[in-house]
Amino acid sequence: MGLSEERIRAVHVGVAPVVGGRVVLVDYDPDWPALYEREAARIRGVLGAGVVGLAHVGSTSVPGLAAKPIVDVVLEVADSADEASYVPALEAAGYVLRIREPEWFEHRMFKGPDVNVNLHVFTAGEPEVARMVAFRDRLRVSAADRVLYERTKRELAARDWTYVQQYADAKAGVVADIMSRA
């Protein structure tokens, strides 16, 4: 079940979440892991001990998989609802808060300062982080699931979308199928 248009607009901070067409997928770029490492170093540098966990997730973390050219990073902090403990430091480093979802695991999402990054922030121990990592790990070890997922993504990317969240929601069935084997 996806988010309603009203809900999509409500969680975005300061920007309209419109795609206005097709989602762009590109072939795997071997530079993506290095871009993640650069962002991880920047995040650790500004948050220090405030970083409870940090991981490269999403399609750019899976060698050989086509992806939207956006490096997804998941950051675990002590309490993602306590924005005063991490938001000012991230903003000072150039990150921009774009999504605030208190009802969904207290998720926050920032855009990166100079690399196309989605920095997802959760409270340490939230099950969504383990799910994201398990999905990444399954795709890294299963060629069949990688092919299935990429085929689905390419079919969906060929459609017109108003919001990128609609594209993400449309992948839910294949993600659940793959997760059943993770």
> What secondary structure does DSSP assign to 5-51, as a single string?
HHHHHHHBSSS--EEEEPPP-B---TTHHHHHHHHHHHHHHHHGGG-
87 CA to centre of own chain: 17
- Please state, in angstroms and rounded to a whole number, the distance separating the CA atoms of residues 148 and 58: 15
pLDDT at 88: 98
Q: Any idea what DSSP says for residue 69?
A: S
Question: Which pair of tokens denotes residue 105?
Answer: 């695991």
Strands 107-111, 117-123: pairing kind? antiparallel
Sign (positive/negative) of CA torsion 128, 134, 140, 142?
Answer: negative
Q: Any idea what DSSP says for residue 114?
A: S
Mean pLDDT of 138-142: 98
pTM equals: 0.89
How does the average pLDDT of the chain come out, rounded? 91
pLDDT band, very low/low/confident/very high, at 22 (cuts 50, 70, 90): confident
Of the listed ranges 4-18, 91-105, 132-146, the one predicted with least confidence: 4-18
Mean pLDDT of 51-56: 98
pLDDT band, very low/low/confident/very high, at 14 (cuts 50, 70, 90): low
How distant, in Å, are the alpha carbons of 41, 84, 129, 137, 162 from that of 57?
16, 25, 9, 9, 24
Name the amino acid, one letter, at 165. Answer: Q
How distant, in Å, are the alpha carbons of 81, 123, 162, 163 from that of 5?
24, 26, 9, 8
Report the share of the chain in percent with pLDDT over 90. Answer: 82
41 CA to centre of own chain: 18
pLDDT of 45 over the 80 cut: yes
Half-sphere exposure of 165 toward its Cβ, with a 13 Å CA cutoff?
A: 16
- Whether the Cβ atoms of residue 99 and residue 11 lie closer than 8 Å to each other: yes
